[in-house]
Structure 1
Amino acid sequence: MPSPAPTPRRVGRPRSAQADAAIMDATRAALVEVGWGKLTMGYVAARAGVAKTTLYRRWPNKGELVVHAVAALFDELELPDRGSLRGDIEGVVISFARMLQRPETNASLMAVVAESTHDPLLREHIREAIVDRQKHLVLQGRERAQARGELPPDAASSEENERLVDLIFDVIAGAVVHRTLVSAEPVDEQWAEAFTTLLLHGLVAASAPRGRGEGGSEGGYQDGSA
C-alpha cells in the first residue's frame, strides 16, 4: 500500500517556474513510488507543496501532466559538437541511453506509453510534446555534418527532408529505447560504435571484421570520423 499523501507545505507562494519544477519532480518521483494506477493529481500536488488547483490550471488530467514531466527530462538532451558525424551520433546515443536508465525516466516513459496504447489523445500528445520536439537534434546533427562536407545538402523537396528526419529519429530513438527498456541490455561505447557503423554504412560494413575498413574492405568509407 502506498504511504498517505504528504501534507502540502505552506512556505509562501512560489514563483511559477519554481512551482512547475517542483510539480515535474513530484510527478516523476510519485510514478517511481506508487505507479501510474495509484498516481493522482492530489498526491502530486501534496508532494510538490502546491494546491491541487495549481495543477489543474496547467494540466487538465494526469496523462498530460506525466507527458510534460517526461518531456522536461528529454529537453535536457543536447548534441555537443564532437567534431564528426560519427562522434555526434555515438555521443547522443550514449547520453540518451543514460537518461532512459534513470529510474524517474524509465518509470515515467513506460507508464505513459503503456497508457497511450488505449488513449489516442494521449498518444497524440506524446508525439507533439516529446517526439516532434526532440527532432531538432536530428536537424542540428545534419546541419553540422553538411557544413563539414560529410553529408550532401538537403533534398529540394521539404517533404522529402521531413520524411528523412523522421526516419533518422525513428531508427536512433527506436534502437536505443528497445535496447535499454525492452532488452535491458547496456548501451556502452562498443554498442554505440557498432550501431553508428550500421547507421552510417549499412549491414555490409557492420558485418565486416574489426580492423578492416568500414566498407568491408581496406580503406573503408570517408565519413569524417577518421
Structure 2
Amino acid sequence: MTIDQSKTTNKLLHGLTPENFALIGSHLQHRQFALDHYLVRSHQPITSVVFPESCIASRVIQSPVGKDVEVALIGFEGMTGTALIMGDDRTPLDSYIQSAGAGYVLPAWALVAALDKSRSLERYLLRYVQTLIIQASSTALINGMANAETRLARWLLMLHDRTTGANISTTHEFIAVMLAMRRPWVTETLHLLEGKHLIKTSRGSIRILNRAGLIAEAKGFYGLAETEYARIMTPPDPMPKVPLAYLAGQ
C-alpha cells in the first residue's frame, strides 16, 4: 500500500518531490519501535533505513573499552542508514531507539534502486547527510570545550526539538551513556538545571520549563546545526544549473 505523502510528518519524506516519493512510497511500511531497538548494527550490512516520526534514534560510536558515546540524534527531521546514500552498505556506528515511537521503514535495496534512478533524490539526501556531519561536528566541539551543564542543556534542547510537547522520556542512566558522563555527574547537573527552574525531573521523564533559559545555558553551542539544517534543507534545489552549451562541449 502506498503511503499518502501529504500525511507524513517526517520532514525528509514530506519534502520529497512527488516524482521522487513515487520511487519509494510503495515500499514504505509504518511501524512502531520499542526503546533500545537496533536500527543499524556496526560493521553489518544495512538492510533497511528508518524515517522517524515520533521515535528518536541515537547514532553512537563505541570506545575501545566498549562504552557507547552519542554522535548524532535522528528524529522526524531525518533518517537512519545514510551510509547507503554515500555508496556504502555498512558503518562502524550503531543506531538504536532512545525514545519509543513510530516511523517508516524502507528496505535498503529500494532506497539504492531509487537513488540509481534519480539524481535529484541523491542530491536531496546528500544535503541531509551534510546536516548530520555538521551536527556531529558540533557535538565534538561541545564535548571537548564545554562543562557538563552546557552539554546537558544542548542535548535536552535537541531532544525537545524532536519531541511534541514539553516532556522528554529519558533516564539518568541513558543520559550518562549518551553524554559519556558518570551517573553522579548527571544527577548533580540535572539538579543544577532544576534549581535554575529550567527543567523539572521525575522518574523516567524531564519536563522543559524554560527553553530560552536552556538556550542561554548552552552558551552558544546550540543552534548552529539547527540553523544549518533549515538553510540546507529548505531550498528545493540549491545546485547550480549547468548551461546546455557546457553539456554540448561548447
Same fold (TM over 0.5): no
Greater strand share, structure number: 2
Greater helix share, structure number: 1
Pick the structure with greater CA Rg. 1
